[in-house]
Amino acid sequence: MKKPVSRVLIINDEPLVLKEFVKGLNAAARSLDNPLGIAFSGVTTAREALAAIEEDGDLQAVVVDDKLYTLNQKSHKKEMSALELVQRVTRFRPELDVYILIAQEHEDEIVDALFAEAVDGYFYREERDYRGIYRILNAQVQERSRTPFYDQLKNYVWMAKDSWHTPGHSSGESLRGSPWVNDFYDFMGEHIFDADLSVSVKMLDSLMEPTGVIAEAQTIAAKAFGARRTFFATNGTSTSNKVIFQTLLAPGEKLLLDRNCHKSVHHGVVLSGGHPIYLDSSINAKYSLYGPVPKKTILSAIRRHPDAQAIILTSCTYDGLRYDLAPIVEAAHAKGIKVIVDEAWYGFARFHPAFRPTALEAGADYATQSTHKVLSAFSQASMIHVNDPGFNEHLFRENFNMHTSTSPQYSMIASLDVARKQAVMEGYKLLSRTLALSQELRAQINSTGVFRVLELDQLLPEEVRRDNILLDPTKVTVDISTCGYTVEDLQRELFDRYNIQVEKSTFNTLTLLLTIGTTRSKVSRLYDALMRIAREGRAPRRLYRFPEIPGFTRLRYLPRDAFYCGGELVPLVDEKDNIRRDLLDRACADQIVPYPPGIPVLVPGQVITREIVHYLVGLLRSQKRVELHGIVYDGYLPCLRVLKPAEERGLRRIG
């Protein structure tokens, strides 16, 4: 098994003192227990220190001498003080532990100012207590690398207690001896079953009322992600979003949301009974990509709806477009509106400066993250981070418990604990590698001469060009329009012939997702496949483009009120294939979502127009297979569920 390396950097501008310190500390590390491979090195200038922090992914802590450049101000004019250096370090890599070496006689304003920077501790330099310093640093790095829940789960499994509780497979006993299903046991592996336990095991705490190892793991995660509170969720960010809505919105209260939000957000609107104010996303028609909502639209919605309880935005988007969140948060907070950011695709961002600021760093009150999508957690493992100063924990807990299974998957909770540990201990290093691979892959794809990676400039819809939108380079969108394949054929070719499965597509693009699990071999195989396809020299095909989604019409009733009406089914077309007139101006009871792109054309309570029916009928008639969620078939007839006139009369109109 690979052993960890944990480097600690000492920064002191007096070479002799530095040498003595590094030597003394390394001697202490050698003579004492050192499970994390702690090793000390030193530099004499702030510039070298910053370079080391940037280059050395194994660095876990820095120790800065408080007298840095105060002794010899003149010769170091262009250098920075200990205080500035600490600020730069914590801004660049907030996960690092920062310690100060202070001179006893110096305990003054410098030290006070350094403490205001939330450093992790200090040592008196003149004591030269190398073993003491080593012990403290070792304990601190061990504390950050602790996984309280995972450790306890392992302990419990090794205790090998007899199970008289759920789950029914009873540590896999029901499968192991079976001639019919023992292959499942063998395929999945014994620990999947051993670690599949239940709330009956008290020493594993309760996700519904954590006071033990789950509470501890969540507290460590909150520190790691820069949140006041963090909650582990085992039903995906789909559920995390719904929990927050039900906490913040009472029925009828307003929520500002991007129309292109994930479907869980739209479902959350129905469940909470909220009054949604939809904000139209920008569109890059050339590539059928839906981008961020223009800043102008957001700020104007905030001005027009100061009574909204919350706004939710997705950042980054599926295609990697990141909002400039700080001014939006500021405008929302000025009106007392809470800001929720769906960071389903951005859970790693805290651990590399290239991706920051995160939503919380930009001032958001809530961030939801699909840890499983972009870090090393099992599918469905998600985190809810809270920085809301008015957080109502009781209400949140009630809603969290309403949505959470009473039988959560314990390996999933353990995977959140482990994913956090990995992000803190080696996230910077792994993300640096991912960024380098992304640059390599982009260059290689472009070198095929046929496939072309779309950079920020090509991805940005016109309406958001001046909104300071940034691109997360780990999402690589490739223009395939000149390769001679349709996007479906290309995906099939990549899958069947080259064993490659991509993340998603539009009619003329493919999107590849790089994560900390992307390897150079995978990059080479993808490049090789694309190069071979490019060399086939096929003539470009005509590609079928989806029509643009019609603009949002009018919301006549609250989505929840409309959804819970029984309604009636009305076909989209009559026997002669003409659009049914009696559908027009009716209120829809369901959410109708063509996939792709996954944006609702209709939500419950929305008024149906001719344009919308035309659009839906067009999709149904097109050669291209599109999933149309929400359409009901009455025999062969595709229908919409709409409110009956009597039902409409009984509901309160909102528009």
Ligand X SMILES: Cc1ncc(COP(=O)(O)O)c(C=O)c1O
**Which residues here bind ligand X, judged by CB under 6 A?**
236-238, 262, 264, 314, 318, 342, 344, 370, 382
The residue length of the chain stands at 655
Write the DSSP string, 234-265: SSHHHHHHHHHHHHH--TT-EEEEETTS-HHH
The residues, ordered by sequence, that sit 6+ positions from 635 with a Cβ below 8 Å of its Cβ are none
CB of 314 to ligand X, least distance (A): 5
* Token code pair at residue 264: 């869980």
Beta bridge partners of 154: none
Nearer to ligand X, 237 or 409 (CB): 237
Q: Scan for tokens 């991509």, then name that residue.
A: 502
Spatial CA neighbour of 411 closest among 178, 191, 100, 651: 191
CB of 509 to ligand X, least distance (A): 17
CB of 138 to ligand X, least distance (A): 36
State the SS3 of 40-68: EEEECCHHHHHHHHHHCCCEEEEEEECCC
Spatial CA neighbour of 215 closest among 231, 201, 227, 202: 231
CB of 65 to ligand X, least distance (A): 45
Nearer to ligand X, 44 or 368 (CB): 368
Nearer to ligand X, 264 or 358 (CB): 264
Nearer to ligand X, 24 or 598 (CB): 598
Q: Is the peptide bond before 357 cis (omega within 30 degrees of 0)?
A: yes
Write the DSSP string, 272-295: HT-EEEEEPPPEETTTTEE-PPPH
CB of 207 to ligand X, least distance (A): 16
Any alpha helices (H) in 514-587, and if so which ranges?
Answer: 520-535, 559-563
* CB closest to ligand X, residue no: 236
CB of 363 to ligand X, least distance (A): 20
Helix (H) or strand (E) holding 313: strand 310-314
Distance CA 341, CA 175 (A): 43
Nearer to ligand X, 309 or 368 (CB): 368
CB of 358 to ligand X, least distance (A): 15
CB of 178 to ligand X, least distance (A): 33
The residues, ordered by sequence, that sit 6+ positions from 133 with a Cβ below 8 Å of its Cβ are 25, 28, 63, 123
Nearer to ligand X, 262 or 295 (CB): 262
Nearer to ligand X, 226 or 320 (CB): 320
Nearer to ligand X, 138 or 409 (CB): 409
Q: Is the peptide bond before 597 cis (omega within 30 degrees of 0)?
A: yes
Nearer to ligand X, 318 or 323 (CB): 318
Nearer to ligand X, 28 or 383 (CB): 383
Span between the terminal Cα atoms of the chain, in Å: 64
* Token code pair at residue 585: 């101006």
CB of 112 to ligand X, least distance (A): 44
Nearer to ligand X, 387 or 511 (CB): 511
Nearer to ligand X, 244 or 642 (CB): 244
CB of 469 to ligand X, least distance (A): 16
* Token code pair at residue 532: 């071979």
**Largest Cα–Cα distance of the chain, in whole Å?**
94
**How many Cβ atoms are within 10 Å of 25's Cβ, its own excluded?**
23
Nearer to ligand X, 310 or 534 (CB): 310
Q: Scan for tokens 């370090």, then name that residue.
A: 89
CB of 316 to ligand X, least distance (A): 9
* Token code pair at residue 224: 């790691």
* Token code pair at residue 59: 């660095």
Distance CA 253, CA 251 (A): 6
The one-letter amino acid code at 155 reads N
In contact, 293 and 281? CB cutoff 8 Å:
yes
In contact, 198 and 167? CB cutoff 8 Å:
yes
CB of 10 to ligand X, least distance (A): 42
CB of 382 to ligand X, least distance (A): 5
Distance CA 248, CA 396 (A): 8
- Count of alpha carbons within 13 Å of 590, Cβ hemisphere only? 17
Nearer to ligand X, 367 or 431 (CB): 367
* Chain mean position to CA 526: 25
The region, left, alpha or beta by phi > 0 then psi within -120 to 50, assigned to residue 577 is left
Nearer to ligand X, 230 or 314 (CB): 314
In contact, 560 and 535? CB cutoff 8 Å:
no
